[in-house]
Amino acid sequence: MNGIKISLIAALFVANSVAEEIILDELSLTATKIATPTKNISQSIAVVDAKTIEDKNVLNVQEALEGIPGVNAESSTNSPNPRLIIRGAGLKARYGVREIMVMKDGVPLTDPDSFTRFDFIDMQDVSSIEVQKGPGSINAVNATGGVIQLITKSVFEEDKNRIKLGAGDDGQRNLNLKVRGAIDDNDFASVTFSTRKIDNDWRDNNEFDATQVSLKHGHIFEDDSSLETEFSYTESNMKIPASMTASEFATFESTGEQHDTSAQFQHTSRDSKIFALNTKYEKEVGNITYKPRFYFNTWDHFHPVTGLINDSTDNSVYGTDLELNHAHNLFGNKASLVAGVTAKTDITKDAKKYEYADYTSAAGAIVKTLSDKKGNLAQTEDSTTTLYGVYAMETFSPSQDLTFDISSRVDKLSFDIEGNEITAYSYGAKRYVAGAGLYSIDKSYTLFSAKFGTVYKLTDLTNMYLSVATANQAPTTSELGDNPALDMATSNNYEIGLKTRTKDITYDVAIYQNDVTDEIIQVLDAAGNTEYDNAGKTQKRGLEFNTVYAVTKNLDLGASYAYSDFKFVTFEEKVGFGGGAHWENRSGNYLPYIPKHQYALFAAYSMDNGFKSRITTKSWGSYYMDNANTQKYEGYKFVTDLMVGYEHEAHSLQLNVKNITDKYYAMEALKDVNGAESYKAAAPRSYMLTYSYKF
């Protein structure tokens, strides 16, 4: 802890040594549901602005989030399917994102059970991203890791139309078109169309393509209230490459190619079609602003995974968030109350799982799949997941230098699942076996979250904040299917930090301790099964630092660092299966996959003549590959991206090169309790040349 104290003292010294001219702070539009400078928010929050998104040519959400301290964002598919972890939350996810609330323009994209799909996010319509870290946010429904808010280009905001074309290696193609205009004095509309494609020829079964269209309409009423509505449609086809053994990964490390692996299931994928509608109304009546939102989406997917093929065509999500903001005075200073109710239901009808039809076998065991053709029906399931809750947050200042915010929300989460498991895939025998037959799960959780935060103005440049927060995390639908006895986890977070905003330097320092009881963790057993269990207790301690220094008006330098000390306090892990199953003590061990040290650097340079460039590099330290801490993966150092571009009037030409030194490394390295290693490769060097024209 001495190092942490020194960091805080040094940061405070810098704050009082720099120039006293204050610059405008980035605004958070969502942390308190009222536009607030990030310096005045009593928690760690990062904002990825429009310039960064444009300079990095962000097409996948993880490209925007990498480099934020405390956020682990990597993709095993080189497509919009990241593994996303905030301060250890989300570690349990086999695929998709869990334990983190993802929102777009205030509308939750996360299902009630905390599962998030990134398939239907068009990053080319996103103007900024906010990342709130830790539990206790009034936005975070059943999510202890934090909140990611995607803010898209508003239909009310004047902006030039644009066409954007991109081409690169590995068959990369990108087209984006946005047209926005006024229909009359009170009505506005915009259309965004995007299509993307990449072949990823350096490995097998990794093609990706997506087509997305969005139509937005906005109306301003005579009383200045507004109504904004968006219709969107996405069709996404994503092949998911197989993981590698240790020897196969060694081949990748020397060649940069991944072909003909020994993995059984060679034809996994996720093909989705998604239609979404959301509408939000805003009206001021005196000191109260009403913000009701309604949203709906329906989706289907064809999703071959390990063992079985998921085919679900009738899925619907309905939800509402009825919010009000009340501006008032307290202790002679301005104060605000944010309150609301939410309700959401996720209904899946007649979801089916099938056996693979085409595969080679030996002694009845599956050796390798030959296609993703559906075989015999293995399982049917209907499920309804319902969530409803209330929330409130009061922010007030008893003095000019001191601000408090107190918030709480309570939610009721209910699962109603019925199905018939005709056959199942046995990971140990590597074949299909008789299923459990009819089953039903009827379970409910009452989720509570709360936060007390305070911000103290140390100087005109620097604020100090302190927060204490708690929240519950319930299992997901699929986790309950694996283990109906799962309890919800409870996360208690204690955090202190400094935030400085000056003319030339901005920085944030955060120190936290997060104690989690009954944390739901992923266990890879000796038979190859991925199971879920409640760890007795985990403790996560960390330090995060982020800074940007404007050397001149043309040159910015930035750095970030995260120190993560995440351990099991008490945990017994089940090892083996059948008659040989037994329990082993993992107490005191480090959580797998999370590096103790993670850091990133960037330099961005722009000239008055239109030339611009940006270089970014990131490093992950070593981490343990299993709960038993028997082996480490060494991580990677200085994986570097480069951008050079030129802008002239309405024209822009930009070259982005990712992993410019062509490092071959793993984005994930795991080890099961039987000692088998598995690796997922990160993408080698790639480039894209992009031209855009504004009109």
pLDDT over 90 for what percent of the chain? 79
Tell me: pLDDT of 642 over 50: yes
- Looking at residue 149, its pLDDT comes to 93
CB atoms within 10 A of CB 357: 14
Averaged pLDDT, 218-238: 96
- Looking at residue 578, its pLDDT comes to 64
User: pLDDT tens, 493-505?
Assistant: 999 999 999 999 9
- Looking at residue 538, its pLDDT comes to 93
Please answer whether residues 212 and 271 qualify as being in contact, where contact means their C-beta atoms are separated by less than 8 angstroms: no
- Looking at residue 146, its pLDDT comes to 94
Find where tokens 């644009």 sit: 162
Averaged pLDDT, 586-601: 96
Q: Which residue has the higher pLDDT, 380 or 1?
A: 380
pLDDT band at residue 485 under the 50/70/90 scheme: confident
Q: CA 207, CA 22: separation in Å to the nearest integer?
A: 48
What residue type is 662 in one-letter code? D
Beta strands, E only, 286-430: 288-304, 309-330, 333-356, 359-362, 365-369, 374-399, 402-426
- Looking at residue 18, its pLDDT comes to 36
Tell me: pLDDT of 307 over 90: yes
Q: Which residue has the higher pLDDT, 469 or 519?
A: 469
Half-sphere exposure of 234 (CA within 13 A, CB side): 24
Tell me: pLDDT of 673 over 90: no
**Residue 387 C-alpha from the chain's centroid:** 21
Cα 105-301-387 angle, rounded to 5 deg: 50
Q: CA 399, CA 102: separation in Å to the nearest integer?
A: 34
- Looking at residue 616, its pLDDT comes to 97
What residue type is 305 in one-letter code? V
Tell me: pLDDT of 201 over 80: yes
Which tokens hold the place of 77? 């598919």
Q: CA 173, CA 690: separation in Å to the nearest integer?
A: 10
Q: CA 329, CA 676: separation in Å to the nearest integer?
A: 62
Averaged pLDDT, 147-162: 93
Q: Which residues pair with 482 in a beta bridge?
A: none
Which tokens hold the place of 147? 């909140």
Which tokens hold the place of 477? 């639908």
pLDDT band at residue 527 under the 50/70/90 scheme: low
- Minimum mean pLDDT among 97-101, 270-274, 521-525, 689-693: which range? 521-525
The torsion angle over the Cα atoms of residues 429, 432, 436 and 440, rounded to 10 degrees, is 120
| Mean pLDDT, the chain, integer | 91
Give 189-239 as a DSSP string: EEEEEEEEEE--TTBSS--EEEEEEEEEEEEE-TTS-EEEEEEEEEEEEEE
Please answer whether residues 103 and 147 qualify as being in contact, where contact means their C-beta atoms are separated by less than 8 angstroms: yes
Please answer whether residues 672 and 526 qualify as being in contact, where contact means their C-beta atoms are separated by less than 8 angstroms: yes
- Looking at residue 10, its pLDDT comes to 39
- Looking at residue 29, its pLDDT comes to 58
Tell me: pLDDT of 680 over 50: yes
pLDDT band at residue 535 under the 50/70/90 scheme: confident
Burial, 409: exposed, middle or buried (Cβ in 10 Å; 0-12, 13-18, 19+)? buried
Q: CA 679, CA 424: separation in Å to the nearest integer?
A: 26
Q: Which residues pair with 576 in a beta bridge?
A: none
pLDDT over 70 for what percent of the chain? 93
Tell me: pLDDT of 77 over 90: no
Q: What share of the chain is helix, strand, coil (3-state, %, to 5)?
A: 5, 60, 30
Q: State the DSSP H helix or E strand holding residue 15, giving kind and residue range, or none if neither.
A: helix 2-17
Inter-CA distances, 260 with 48, 243, 252, 444, 676, Å: 39, 11, 11, 45, 19
Which tokens hold the place of 412? 């009721």
Q: State the DSSP H helix or E strand holding residue 671, giving kind and residue range, or none if neither.
A: strand 666-671
Which tokens hold the place of 635? 């991580």
- Minimum mean pLDDT among 52-61, 341-350, 452-461, 685-694: which range? 52-61
- Minimum mean pLDDT among 106-110, 208-212, 403-407, 590-594: which range? 106-110
DSSP 123: G
Task: Provide CB contacts within 8 A for 409, sequence distance 6+.
Answer: 138, 141, 389, 390, 391, 392, 448, 449, 450
Specify the 3-state DSSP secondary structure of 265.
coil
Tell me: pLDDT of 3 over 70: no
Please answer whether residues 607 and 554 qualify as being in contact, where contact means their C-beta atoms are separated by less than 8 angstroms: yes
Averaged pLDDT, 218-239: 96
Q: CA 126, CA 128: separation in Å to the nearest integer?
A: 6
**Residue 654 C-alpha from the chain's centroid:** 27
Please answer whether residues 315 and 348 qualify as being in contact, where contact means their C-beta atoms are separated by less than 8 angstroms: yes
Tell me: pLDDT of 426 over 60: yes
- Looking at residue 427, its pLDDT comes to 83
Phi/psi at 174 (5° precision): -145, 135
Let me know how many helices (H) and strands (E) the chain has, helices first.
5, 41
- Looking at residue 8, its pLDDT comes to 38
Supply the pTM of this predicted model. 0.90
Averaged pLDDT, 684-689: 96
Find where tokens 């602003």 sit: 289
Selection from 546, 626, 473, 642 nearest residue 48 by Cα: 546
Q: CA 623, CA 459: separation in Å to the nearest integer?
A: 39
| Domains along the sequence of the chain with CATH | 2-694 (2.40.170.20)
What residue type is 677 in one-letter code? E
Specify the 3-state DSSP secondary structure of 119.
coil
